Amino acid sequence: MTDGVGSETPRHDTGADRREVVGRVRRSKNSPEPSARGNFTPPPRTAAPAPAPAAEPKAEPPAPSGGRFTPRNWRVTTRLNAILLIPVLVGLVMGGFQVKSSIDTWQDAEDAESTARLVRASLGYANALYNERDITAAPLLQGKGEKDTTVAEARRATDEAADTFDEAAQGMPGKAGLERRLKVFREQEPKLQTLRAAAYTSKLKGVETEEGYTGVAHPLMEFANELGLGTGNITSYGRTVYAISLTKAALSLERSIGMHMLVKPGPEPSHLASQRVALSSYAYLERIAVEEYIGGGTEADAQKLEDAEAKLKEDGAAMAKEAKAKDPDYVPPPSDPTTMISELAGLSSTDTSARAELAQQGITPENWWAVNTLKFDAYQKIESDLADKAVSEASAIADDAERDAYITGAAVVIALLAAFVLAGMVARGMSRSMRQLRNAAFGIAEQRLPMLVDQLSRTDPGRVDTRVQPIPITSTDEIGEVARAFDQVHREAVRLAAEQALLRGNINAIFTNLSRRNQSLIEGQLSLITDLENNEADPDQLENLFRLDHLATRMRRNGENLLVLAGEEPGRRWDQPVPLVDVLRAASSEVEQYERIELSGVPEAEIHGRAVTDLVHLLAELLENATTFSSPQTKVRVTATRLPDGRVMVEIHDKGIGLTAEDFADINHKLANPPTVDAAISQRMGLFVVGRLSDRHGIRVQLRPSGEQAGTTSLVMLPDAITHGGGGEQQQRDEFTVSQIIPEQNFQGENFGQVGQVGQPMRTAAELGFDDSRYAEIPDDIRELDPVGRSLMREERRAALEAQSHPELPGPVDQGDGGRNEATGFQDQFTGQQPGYDGQQPGYDQALDGYQQQPNGAYQEPATTGYDQQSAYADPQQAYQEPQQASYDEQYYAPNGGGPENGSYSPFEQRRHQDDWPQQDGYQ
């Protein structure tokens, strides 16, 4: 692992010789190594200050050309007056378009009228087919044949309706939709003769006759979908007509099938079963079609249906009363039509006794026909009214369009013929200047200004040519004045961009220095807390120290967040690959509620050394929020999968409150496109950090809802560039960072744990007087414990102290559902025995004994304890939650794939961030 130096000069020298800016660091898209982004870095304190940028030269505007009375120098009002005198040519063209539009509207209205007449004829033809089928059902089932008077009259009415339709089809507009529908109907129409010959005979059993007629009539109903123009409800009028036609067709099928069942069901039980199923199905279709009619129509259309239903009840009651007067033994039908359908659908036998039982309830062929015919006529009337309305409104629009076409044509010819005769030359001169101004403005806005801003963001503004080239318009009219005004706006934009670049550089430098100053102080505080922990024997007091340790670690992380804002790289990197399972464990150890995390199914994969630090922090951010915004009684499940293309997918599942679809879309967009630093970042630091870290290594992070239950799933896609292993060697940089411009020095801040030992390497626990004799001895080749080991050492120490205080407790206490502690011996990790894990146990409850000693010179960092079960850090002064976790700035040891390059580290060797995530919905 390479050492990163992160410090600052003594405080009394702050800002002494700082130059305004050296440059802004941007990530090079061509560089294989992501560089620091978004900060200006001040030069070394010993360097001479750079000269201030020279004053921006102001280019003189071009001298005006032409005289006062030159047409190109006319004022706008003068040109408008000239345009009013010469409007003919342009007026004729524009007037021609207007007249053409009126004629097109007229033609469209006439086509709509013809379409409406065709639809009305097609609906009449379909009604005739339904009536023929239903009226001829009883005579044909009784064996009277085609020569029966009722049958002959019904078929003659159908033939007359067919002639009317053919006549309307001859005047049909030549639209593709109408022609296609007519072709489909012509293919079905010849089947009518075959149906008539075999209707209600043994050749067509069950419901084949009824559905055969429907197959012929249905293409006629589809013509209604072509309606629209002039109805005031263009998008849904045809849909409304089609819906009422479908309702009528379904009712007609009910009427026909019911008559068939009441007169002569079957003849086979299977045929009767198909009739019963068809009756129920078409009754359901009728209800659906009625709902479609109400949804697609207007309030007036819905009112028509309500009025028809009310009239239907009145007519039914009157009909029953009249029949009762004629025949005292008459049994009226059930008042609810659905009762008749359900009773008839329950007919289970073709015997006359079953139909006799229905007759006792008033369900007879006569009553069935009468009730359904009343409904059929009501639907047909609504359908007819809608078709007539479409015809009348289309006809009125056609008349209005014809009149408007003549009026518009006359007005255009009269008005514009005298207005645009002399406008050509003047309009040409104006348009030329306007085009020139437009092209120049677009060139500045789309090319010159963005390129200049990009240069300012990449380099020192003092090295960028910020002079503004004036727009080459030399006229003195309003267009020329606009050009000069635009030049001034251009200058101000360039000036502000330069000032903003300087300001961003200074702010980023401030962020970096403040972070490193705070880190030095907090590291001293953490060192003191660690000494107190190592020498404390009281379990309760030790727990309080652990909590204080955790809070101090969070304070340090808040300071490190400033490094993210400044775009700084972490201070050190791994020089060897690290197993993925160890990376996941390290990330979990930084979470306050680590005992709730379960690892399962982690493949054997190694993470590239240069990505380990950032990946651990990225996963810790997601794990912290998963535990924070889910119930403390639930587990957070972490799995990993090796994909066929070599990538690795890490999944983090929680059972929290979840997010809305809009929140998921917004968060995923921000993760894929990290926003720029602004005031909002301070309230949503977690989202910013995850996005920046993932973008740095080509990692893809997405949030999705959990598939089987409430909660959120975080998906982390690791590219095979970082999962194949490899070292973390430094790559050549083509741009500069703070650490390259200013040679960073170790900040000799206060060391609260070792008074008078400023600058000395941190000592081990044995050197500080801590007794490690009760614990397993550390092998000689162990240079420093990993984050998991550090957390487990503290847990085991606390358990041992509690065991001394409470001898009756035989061992570690179970911590809840699935949270059992497995005392596997921490030294096993250093002898090649990697502890196992599965989906039934928390990710970090597997090696909670075996406290290990820190080696000499190693940097000891306090890790998260799991004793404080708060779901989030609650700050009463803030409107958002700020979950924080312990830092990960330890090194892996030799058995895990490599060790550190040296034994001492500065307080700023690793860059870690824990952020402010708002409490609403968990993720922002």
**Alpha-helix runs per DSSP H in 136-175:** 137-141, 149-170
Return the closest-CA partner of residue 530 out of 542, 521, 519.
542
**Among the listed ranges 77-91, 105-119, 379-393, 670-684, which one has the minimum average pLDDT value?**
77-91
Residue 706, both tokens = 């959990």
Cis peptide bond upstream of 461, omega within 30:
no
Mention every residue, 6+ apart, whose C-beta is less than 8 A from residue 397: 109, 112, 113, 229, 230
- The strand pair at 24-25 and 578-579 is best described as unpaired
The more confident residue out of 296 and 868 is 296
pLDDT of amino acid 768: 27
Buried b (16+ CB within 10 A) or exposed e, 60-78: eeeeeeeeeeebbbbeeee
How many C-beta neighbours within 10 Å does residue 196 have?
19
- The strand pair at 597-600 and 636-642 is best described as parallel
Query: Phi-psi category of 266—alpha, beta or left, where left has phi over 0 and alpha has psi -120 to 50?
Result: left
> Could you tell me the CA-to-CA distances from 209 to 106, 203, 275 in Å, in that order?
45, 9, 11
- Sorted by where each begins, the domain ranges of the chain are 1-69+459-563, 110-402, 578-727+782-884
Burial of 767 (0-12, 13-18, 19+ CB in 10 A): exposed
Give the 3-state secondary structure of residue 521.
helix
Q: Quick one: how many helices (H) and strands (E) in the chain?
A: 24, 9
Give bridge partners of residue 638 from the DSSP assignment: 599, 652
Of 179-183, 614-618, 782-786, which one has max mean pLDDT?
179-183
pLDDT of amino acid 637: 94
Task: Judge whether 68 and 534 are in contact, CB under 8 Å.
Answer: no
pLDDT at 781 exceeding the cut of 50: no
CATH architecture of 578-727+782-884: 2-Layer Sandwich (3.30)
pLDDT band with cut points at 50, 70 and 90 for residue 775: very low
**Residue carrying the six token digits 């403390």:** 632
Q: Each residue of 204-251: pLDDT tens digit? A: 776 788 888 888 888 888 888 877 654 444 446 778 888 888 888 888
What CA–CA distance (Å, rounded) separates 93 from 77? 24
Give the relative orientation of helices 787-805 and 539-566 as an angle to the nearest 10 degrees: 160
What's the whole-number average pLDDT of the chain? 70
The more confident residue out of 533 and 887 is 533
pLDDT band with cut points at 50, 70 and 90 for residue 252: confident
What percent of the chain has pLDDT above 70? 65
* DSSP string for residues in 334-389: PSSHHHHHHHHHT----SHHHHHHHHHTT--HHHHHHHHHHHHHHHHHHHHHHHHH
The more confident residue out of 40 and 683 is 683
Mean pLDDT of 696-716: 87
The widest CA-to-CA distance across the chain, in whole angstroms, is 124
Mean pLDDT of 265-285: 85
pLDDT of amino acid 871: 35
pLDDT band with cut points at 50, 70 and 90 for residue 725: low
Task: Judge whether 767 and 754 are in contact, CB under 8 Å.
Answer: no
**Among the listed ranges 401-405, 604-608, 769-773, 784-788, which one has the minimum average pLDDT value?**
769-773
pLDDT at 750 exceeding the cut of 60: no
Task: Judge whether 86 and 420 are in contact, CB under 8 Å.
Answer: yes
Buried b (16+ CB within 10 A) or exposed e, 436-448: bbeebbeebeeee
Return the closest-CA partner of residue 718 out of 703, 704, 699.
699
pLDDT of amino acid 584: 94
- The strand pair at 39-40 and 24-25 is best described as antiparallel
Buried b (16+ CB within 10 A) or exposed e, 858-879: bbbbbbbbbbeeebbbeeeeee
Mean pLDDT of 468-484: 86
Mean pLDDT of 323-344: 81
**Residue carrying the six token digits 């509620």:** 593
Q: pTM (2 decimals)?
A: 0.37
pLDDT of amino acid 194: 87
Mean pLDDT of 539-544: 88
Of 27-31, 275-279, 790-794, which one has max mean pLDDT?
275-279
Give bridge partners of residue 579 from the DSSP assignment: 606
Task: Judge whether 576 and 897 are in contact, CB under 8 Å.
Answer: yes
What CA–CA distance (Å, rounded) separates 587 from 700? 17
How many C-beta neighbours within 10 Å does residue 81 have?
12
Residue 765, both tokens = 């626990």
Residue 456, both tokens = 């300012």
**Residue carrying the six token digits 């507009």:** 173
What CA–CA distance (Å, rounded) separates 280 from 345? 7
pLDDT of amino acid 76: 62
The more confident residue out of 521 and 70 is 521
pLDDT band with cut points at 50, 70 and 90 for residue 737: very low
Mean pLDDT of 106-110: 83
Of 63-67, 282-286, 353-357, 874-878, which one has max mean pLDDT?
282-286
**Angle, alpha carbons 188-192-198 (nearest 5°):** 130
pLDDT of amino acid 345: 82
pLDDT band with cut points at 50, 70 and 90 for residue 840: very low
Q: What is the dihedral of CA 255, 259, 261, 264, to 10 degrees?
A: -160
Mean pLDDT of 382-388: 84
pLDDT at 443 exceeding the cut of 70: yes
What percent of the chain has pLDDT above 90? 8
pLDDT at 547 exceeding the cut of 90: no
pLDDT at 904 exceeding the cut of 90: no
What CA–CA distance (Å, rounded) separates 370 from 120? 26
